[in-house]
Structure 1
């Protein structure tokens, strides 16, 4: 079984009751909303990763204001090129504040649209689970970096 570890950093940017999100093609082809952010490059600090990724995906420069928490997810059994995989995603979630730049859409990257979405409209959006996890961290600001709203699935099997 192939094992893979991916470390990524994401930003929760809230302004005037709206959350900054990016849109990405989902696994079924339907677009889904994601937090701006993404994978760390080798040797890169996660603090620098989140700032770089937000700029790439939205056009904005941000100031990181707080470390909200860390989310860990393991996916076992997804088949790629005929091989089983054991994927472990470690997602570092920061709060961020827009300090400059202009909203624009990423070209040739993992997202195709960036937009501010009203916080009360987020539950109705087609979104990845990390959006809800990160909003829980943002709302609760738990000192240990884990949401208090109940148990989250930490491991998922996909056959």
Structure 2
């Protein structure tokens, strides 16, 4: 079984319009089966890249917005076992760094030729009804609680 480590950085970006809090999400498309689920804007770090640079770059790539990071919310650590070609399995370890961000420019647009196909604002109180990856609930939980050590505890639906 091959070991894989992936470090990624994501943003929680919210806005309030007419008393409704919206969260910015990107729709991830699985490279394995084409399944589509909402996720936080963000993604994998390039070798030698700083996590802050990664979060800002990925937000722009996936949503069209320029963001400024406000605060480190926390780090989520996951371990999963994935099937690979030829009947092999990968022992996957992911570190997901989550920042709070604010918009500083740009316009909402969809990513082309990337891992997401759609970017949209969603009412925060309706996120639980979306087909989403677990990182959305984890990120919202970190944003709401801001744990002192930045460790993401188990969170239920947003």
* Fold conserved between structures, TM > 0.5: yes
**Structure 1 residue 2 corresponds to structure 2 residue 10:** no
Structure 1 residues 112-150: Cα deviation after superposition (integer angstroms, max 9, x where no partner): 1100000001000000000000000000011111245x5
- In structure 1, the residue matched to 2:136 is 131
Query: Are 1:67 and 2:54 counterparts?
Result: no
Structure 1 residue 25, shift from structure 2 partner: 2.0
| Alignment-derived partner of residue 42 in structure 1 | 47
3-state DSSP class of the match of 1:52? helix
The alpha-carbon deviation at position 151 of structure 1 amounts to: 7.1
Number of residues paired by the alignment? Answer: 150
Structure 2: runs of 5+ lacking an equivalent: none
CA distance in 2, matches of 1:141, 1:151: 13
Which consecutive segments of 4 or more residues in structure 1 shift more than 3 A?
26-30
Structure-2 change in CA distance of 1:43 and 1:147 (3 Å): closer
TM-score by length of 1: 0.90
Structure-2 residue corresponding to 1:18: 22
Q: Unpaired segments of 5 or more residues in structure 1? A: 153-159
TM-score by length of 2: 0.90
CA distance in 2, matches of 1:65, 1:75: 30
- CA-based RMSD of the aligned residues comes to 1.5
